[in-house]
Amino acid sequence: MKKVDTIIIGQGLAGSLIAFELEKKDKDFLVIDNNHKHASSSVAAGLYNPVVFRKPTLGFNIANVLPFALNKYEEIEALLAERFLYKRPYWKFFENFKTINNWEAKAADQKFKEYIKLPLKKEPINGVENELPYAETKFTGNVDLPLFLSKSRDYFELKKCLVNSKLEEVSYGLEIELKLSSKESLKCNRLILARGHQEGNQSEFAYSSVGSTKGDILIIKCPDLKCDYTLSRGFFILPIGNDSYKVGATYDWEDKSYIPSETAKVELAKRFENLVNLPYEIIKHETGLRPGTIDRRPLIGNHAAHKNLFIFNGLGSKGVLLGPYYANQLVNHIFEERPIDNEVNVERMRKYYGNIED
C-alpha cells in the first residue's frame, strides 16, 4: 500500500492553499478531491473587501489577513504563471441618507478610515440608477477562483500529488489508512480534512458542526454597462470580462439542495434591474454551498482524540481573505508547533457543544 507523509482531502480553495504551503516547506503530500460540482470555491465570485458593509465595520483580523492574502496570491500567480488576482475599485451605493450617516460616523474611526476613500463620490455612472453619493473602499478586488482551482489542479496533477477520487473510509491510528472510491488504499502519517460543506455529513469533527449556506449567483451579459469596477447595493455586480458580469449572491440557510433556486434567480434579476437600466441577458445560473460555523470564524486545528488528524474549514463567505493566512497558520502549527489563534481554533467548539470525549 502506498504511503505518503501528509494527505489533504479536498482541493477547494482551502485544500489548495494548504497544498501550496506544504510544497513551500518541501513536504511529501497528496491531495484527494472528488471534484464536487457545487463546491463553494467553484461557483464563488471570489471578491475581497476589507469592509463589512452591513454594519459597517472592518473584517475579522483584517490587518493581518489582507496583506498576507494579497502576497500569497501573487506568489502563487508567479509559480503557476497565470493571472487570477484582480485589484479593482469597489463602489458601494447607499439605500438612504441614514446609511450614509452611519458610514460617515464610522469614518471618524481612524482604523476604519484607512480602508475607505473620502469624500463620497458623486459622479453619475452610465446606466446606473443612483442619485445618492456613494462610497469607495480601498484594497479591494477579486480572485478568479474557478481559474485558480483549475490551474492549481493541473499543477498538482503534473507533480503527481493529486488523485481524483473520493475518500470513502478511514482507519485511525499512528498511521492512518484511507480507502478511496477509486478502490485505491493509501497510508499516511497525518490527514488534513478540507472538505468544505461536505464536512457536515461526516463524523470526525461532528462536534464542530460545519454548516452550509446555499448561495446562488448569475452570470449576465450587459454590453452597454462598460464597467471595470465592482458595484454593490446589498448585492454585487462583478465584471469578469467579455461584457459579462457575476451578479450575486443570495444567502439561504434552509435549503441544502444543489438545485439552483428560481426564487433566487428572480430576486437577483430584480436587484440588478433596480440598479442598472440597461438591456442584459442571463447566461448562467449557478448554486453552491458555503461552509460556515456558528460564530462565523474559520475552523482550524487538531482533532480531540486523533492527534494526527486536522481540519481546515469554516471559511464562510470570506474564503479569499481568510484562507491564505489561516492555511499558513495551520501548517506552521503542524510542523513547527506554533499556536493557533483562539478565535479560529476548533477547540473553541467545546463551549457550544459541551465537553466531548477525548
Residues that bind ligand FAD (CB under 6 A): 9-15, 32-36, 39-41, 43-48, 166-167, 194-198, 215, 217, 248-249, 288, 290-291, 313, 315-321
Minimum CB distance to ligand FAD, residue 132 (Å): 24
Minimum CB distance to ligand FAD, residue 212 (Å): 9
Closest CB to ligand FAD among residues 10, 239: 10
Closest CB to ligand FAD among residues 218, 334: 218
Minimum CB distance to ligand FAD, residue 131 (Å): 27
Closest CB to ligand FAD among residues 116, 249: 249
Could you identify the residue written with the cell 477547540? 347
CA distances (Å), origin 30, targets 22, 192, 316: 10, 10, 25
Minimum CB distance to ligand FAD, residue 354 (Å): 26
Minimum CB distance to ligand FAD, residue 312 (Å): 7
Q: Are 160 and 311 in contact (CB under 8 A)?
A: no
Minimum CB distance to ligand FAD, residue 71 (Å): 17
Minimum CB distance to ligand FAD, residue 63 (Å): 17
Minimum CB distance to ligand FAD, residue 172 (Å): 15
Minimum CB distance to ligand FAD, residue 185 (Å): 14
**Axis-axis angle for helices 13-24, 62-80 (nearest 10):** 70
Q: Are 132 and 97 in contact (CB under 8 A)?
A: yes
Closest CB to ligand FAD among residues 120, 202: 202
Closest CB to ligand FAD among residues 293, 302: 293
Other beta carbons less than 10 A from residue 98's beta carbon: 9
Closest CB to ligand FAD among residues 31, 304: 31
| Residue 340 burial by Cβ neighbours in a 10 Å radius (0-12, 13-18, 19+) | buried
Closest CB to ligand FAD among residues 215, 301: 215
Minimum CB distance to ligand FAD, residue 217 (Å): 4
Per the document, the length of the chain is 358
Closest CB to ligand FAD among residues 11, 261: 11
Q: How far apart are CA 310 and CA 315, in angstroms?
A: 15
Closest CB to ligand FAD among residues 128, 300: 300
Closest CB to ligand FAD among residues 35, 101: 35
